[in-house]
Structure 1
Amino acid sequence: MKKIAGLIAVILIAALGFVGYRYWDTTYHSHDAYAVVTEGVKEKSKTAKGTDYKVNGKQYYMIKYTFDFYDASGNKTTLTYDGPESADPTPLTPGTYVRAKISQKRVTNGPWTISEGDVPAKALSAIKNQ
């Protein structure tokens, strides 16, 4: 009986480890990707309760973007990105190129503005042909 309980425990631990790894891999395991900036949408920041988020009486805003990111091989991933919250957020300049670290689900770091020459050839070709 103890052997069966031990075997079940080992199987459960292995299953939980596998599920945990898959979550981490799709959510946080990131790689470089490139995109061109489109017009963002300015939205009011909200608290967890859904009320307007204000600091010292000033309404905070964020700018939401939808990016078509391309990796160095030209593979496409579409993700949304919420810019930093601020009373007066500075938008990214439409038409400029950005590099970011992305996972399958989110932008994990960045985006950073770069020059067209810093975009890998296959990614640049895919961006220009979209």
Structure 2
Amino acid sequence: MSLLIFVYCSIITIFSQPTSFFSAYKIVISFDVSSLLVFAIIKLHQAQKGTINMKKIFGSLFVIIALVGGYFGYKYYAETYQDMKAYALVPESIPEKKPIKNDTGAIEEGLFSYHYTLTFVKENGETQIMDYELSGETPTPLKPHSFVEAKISQKRITSGPSEISRTAIPEKVLKQLEK
């Protein structure tokens, strides 16, 4: 009986989500979470009647929560910190040197930055546009129309960028940068 209710609630959860606002994995997660809650409530009710062991319920819930947490933890790590080498061509114009503002919007004394938008080409040929802010007390802007190398992830620049020579760039990447 409880399995039937679990399946029924799962089907209702999937079809009640507006798919235009949620990607597929969010629908599956909401489906799993609401279904697990209903299933847990049913099992807790059975446990109070003495038909099922409470240790098994809490052990199962702990394992499920650990697996879901591990999945999302790994996904966050992979998107944020797993990087690969990429190359970019610095724009010909040097951006304006601006004072740095803190979180409240107040200007920090003696700190300045240059804001770049760089189009990186990874070694596998994919392109990725990323913002980069070069900051400090006396920041030196990147040399205009030079090549830089950096390690980038899906969300951020993890290392660099640092200037490199044209000959250090793989030929396939160099052709894409010069388009």
**Normalised by the size of structure 1, how large is the TM-score?**
0.89
- In the alignment, is residue 97 of structure 1 matched against residue 154 of structure 2? no
Task: Name the CA distance, whole Å, in 1 between partners of 2:65 and 2:55.
Answer: 15
4+ runs deviating over 4 angstroms: none
Whose strand fraction is larger, Structure 1's or Structure 2's?
A: 1
The match for 1:73 among 124, 132, 153 is: 124
Name the structure 1 match of 2:100. Answer: 45
The match for 2:135 among 84, 93, 116 is: 84
Residues 22-80 of structure 1: CA distance to partner in whole angstroms, max 9, x if unpaired? 111111111100000113342220122210001xxxx3111111110001122101101
Residue pairs, 1:1-130, within 5 angstroms: 1-38=54-91, 39=93, 40-54=95-109, 59-86=110-137, 88-129=138-179
Q: Number of aligned pairs?
A: 124
> By how many angstroms is 1:84 displaced?
2.6
Kept after mapping to 2: 8 A contact 1:72/1:121: no
Task: Name the CA distance, whole Å, in 2 between partners of 1:18 and 1:121.
Answer: 37
- Secondary structure of the residue aligned to 1:79 is strand
Amino acid at match of 2:151: K
**Normalised by the size of structure 2, how large is the TM-score?**
0.66
Whose helix fraction is larger, Structure 1's or Structure 2's?
A: 2
- Give 1 or 2 for the bigger CA radius of gyration: 2
